[in-house]
Structure 1
Amino acid sequence: MIGFVFPGQGTARVGMGGWLRRDPVAAAVVARADELLPEPVSELCARGPLAKLVDTLHAQPAVTACNLAALAAVRAAGVEPDLVAGHSVGEISALCAAGVLDVDTAFRLVGARARLMADLPVTGGMTAVLGLTPQRVEELAAEAARPGEPLVVGLENAPDHTVVSGAAAAIDRLVASAEAAGARKVVALKVGNAFHSPLMAGALDGWAEAVRATPMSPPRVPVIPNATAEPTTDLPTIVDALIAQLTARVRWTETMRVLAGAGTLVEVGDSKVLAGLLRGVGVRCASTSDPAVLRRLRRPEPAA
């Protein structure tokens, strides 16, 4: 069984997608992204500037363009997934791999998501806490929160790697308590806002409208939504989870436990972040950012 995983916004960097622009099949997908998105992403990926590339409005479409270009290259090698998942905005790429969305629709949907989130006022941020369990971090976040200053677990990336998301003042309080509780490391993330938290609620109605207006097909293979971490082929469940994901926790640790049952795992995109997280829990995962991976995946031609 082959599982595909797709990275999210945090993997955007200048120079991303270089090998994809050199592959004819993948390059055609990047060119299509440039045609459909409000602003072309290929030049931005190649040369930056970094500040513009990592901005939410551009980072989400740029990462999605690389993800779907890599997906096209893997498919051209004759490989299809039996199970898919995507981290945060990577879930849109996973839905494309599962046949729920076509490529054009995926680009339009991610453009809408990026715009809705970028239009919100910046009211908070995100901070990674390493060395404590998600349960302990959740307790500390609840203690640090105040009325009008929410703080929640936004991402469960690994058993000892949790990201909190919420109001800046609440994050300041959590940093002190997490260090006192024995956290190995506490790092502020360079993101535009408090994603996957109640502070994204202002975009939720617009996002729900965009998702429900998007043409979708039943998945050909199971999808593991971030909000549930449970494989499903039920389209209404997938739609509801995709909407909820904007403010809900990304349950990646639970997702990795499900993915561990796949015989082969491939991070599809120009990133090794998810492969690293999976290796951290003892699960092997290749990445298409390594050119040798495609050669290993390529199915041999039938014997004459």
Structure 2
Amino acid sequence: MKAYVFPGQGAQYVGMGKDVYDNHPLAKELFEKANEILGFRITDLMFEGSDEDLKQTKVTQPAIFLHSVILAKTVDESFNPEMVAGHSLGEFSALVAAGALSFEDGLKLVSQRAQAMQKACEITPSTMAAIVGLEDHVVEEVCESIEDVVVAANYNCPGQLVISGSFEGIDKACELLKEKGAKRALKLPVGGAFHSPLMEPARAELAESIKNTSFSKPVCPVYQNVDGKPYTDPEQIKANLVSQLTSPVKWTQTVRNMIADGADDFTEIGPGKVLQGLIKKIDRSVATQGISSYNK
């Protein structure tokens, strides 16, 4: 079975999307519509901006969403998903690609999500760190032993888990996890503690927007981050999206469930190759490829 997956924050690069904008009339139309919806020319920042421009959360998240969704709508003529999933932000791309959300509503929610997360980061300065070489339960136990806020945030693949929390919590956890034998405990260049309790102000703000947005039944199951399970009921999808901001991204579990349900061919749509690499580390037997640029 064919599965499509969509990347999250961190995959952005200057020049992303310009080739499809220049070569496909529908892509140009959708990018220009996005400029109108956002109230600024995000295409200028995507195509010709600086790395610093693209690192702003309010730019990064819509940029990756637009690149992924517009490629899905214009590049692969055979795009007919049997199952979809997205990593964090990528879940919104997956929902639009599967027809659960309109392009316009998806972009508005992604923009609101980015701004709400930015505000939450400013309320409580915080960060994330990648932990490599330990079993999940060891990382979880260490996080639970620390009084400061620090939690498991991204279950990316076996032996790679990202933790999220206050600066103090992350520092203590990294120190203890190195003592436990972690190969790496590296702080990430991110603006805050995504997928942790410190995102509660953003979750509350986004919940209202999601509640007031119309969702449809997707054309195929959407495997959601909160538990890695497939959903098609619009109300359940909405509830899971709200929970996503303060819950961990269970990517390892998602990919394993998709494979158990018949996925044997994964295509990543959007910038970068991060998810292809993670899927290979989860199960080397499945086929992986990516669509990251315009191909005639």
For this structure pair, what is the TM-score category when the shorter chain's length is used for normalisation? over 0.9
In 2, are the aligned partners of 1:29 and 1:68 still within 8 Å (CA)? Answer: no
- Counterpart of 1:124, as a letter, is S
Partner of 2:42: 41
Q: Unpaired runs of 5+ in structure 1?
A: 296-304
Matches within 5 A, 1:1-304: 1-24=1-24, 25-75=26-76, 77-120=77-120, 121=122, 122-143=124-145, 145-146=146-147, 149-260=148-259, 261-281=262-282, 282=284, 283-289=286-292
Matched position secondary structure for 1:287: strand
Matched position secondary structure for 2:228: coil
Select between 242-251 and 171-180 the one with higher mean Cα deviation. 171-180
In 2, are the aligned partners of 1:140 and 1:177 still within 8 Å (CA)? Answer: yes
Matched position secondary structure for 2:287: coil
In 2, are the aligned partners of 1:29 and 1:72 still within 8 Å (CA)? Answer: no
In 2, are the aligned partners of 1:83 and 1:223 still within 8 Å (CA)? Answer: yes
Q: Tell me the CA shift for residue 221 of structure 1.
A: 0.7
Partner of 1:298: none
Matched position secondary structure for 1:85: strand
Mark the CA change 1:290 to 1:280 in structure 2 (over 3 Å): closer, same or farther: farther
Distance 1:275 1:259 in 2: 14
Q: Unpaired runs of 5+ in structure 2?
A: none
Select between 180-189 and 193-202 the one with higher mean Cα deviation. 180-189
- Per the normalisation by structure 2, the TM-score is 0.93
Matched position secondary structure for 2:3: strand
Distance 2:189 2:33 in 1: 29
- How many residue pairs get aligned? The number is 289
Mark the CA change 1:26 to 1:272 in structure 2 (over 3 Å): closer, same or farther: farther
Mark the CA change 1:38 to 1:160 in structure 2 (over 3 Å): closer, same or farther: farther
Q: Tell me the CA shift for residue 163 of structure 1.
A: 0.3
Q: What percent identity do the matched residue pairs reach?
A: 36
Distance 2:136 2:264 in 1: 27
Matched position secondary structure for 2:131: strand
Matched position secondary structure for 2:156: strand
- Counterpart of 1:111, as a letter, is S
Instruction: Write out per-residue CA displacement over residues 248-291 of structure 1, whole angstroms, 9 at most, x where no aligned residue.
Output: 00000001112333132110112211111111221331100266
Distance 1:215 1:290 in 2: 30
Q: Tell me the CA shift for residue 123 of structure 1.
A: 2.0
Matched position secondary structure for 1:109: helix
Instruction: Write out per-residue CA displacement over residues 48-106 of structure 1, whole angstroms, 9 at most, x where no aligned residue.
Output: 2212211211111111110111111245x132101010100111111111111011111
Select between 257-266 and 149-158 the one with higher mean Cα deviation. 257-266
Instruction: Write out per-residue CA displacement over residues 84-139 of structure 1, whole angstroms, 9 at most, x where no aligned residue.
Output: 10100111111111111011111111111111111222421000001112221111
In 2, are the aligned partners of 1:20 and 1:26 still within 8 Å (CA)? Answer: yes
Distance 1:272 1:30 in 2: 23
* Root mean square deviation, CA, Å: 1.6
Matched position secondary structure for 1:10: coil
Structure 1 stretches of 4+ with a deviation exceeding 4 A read none
- Counterpart of 1:65, as a letter, is L
In 1, are the aligned partners of 2:131 and 2:186 still within 8 Å (CA)? Answer: yes
Distance 2:136 2:28 in 1: 39
Distance 2:293 2:14 in 1: 17
- Counterpart of 2:246, as a letter, is T
In 1, are the aligned partners of 2:73 and 2:97 still within 8 Å (CA)? Answer: no
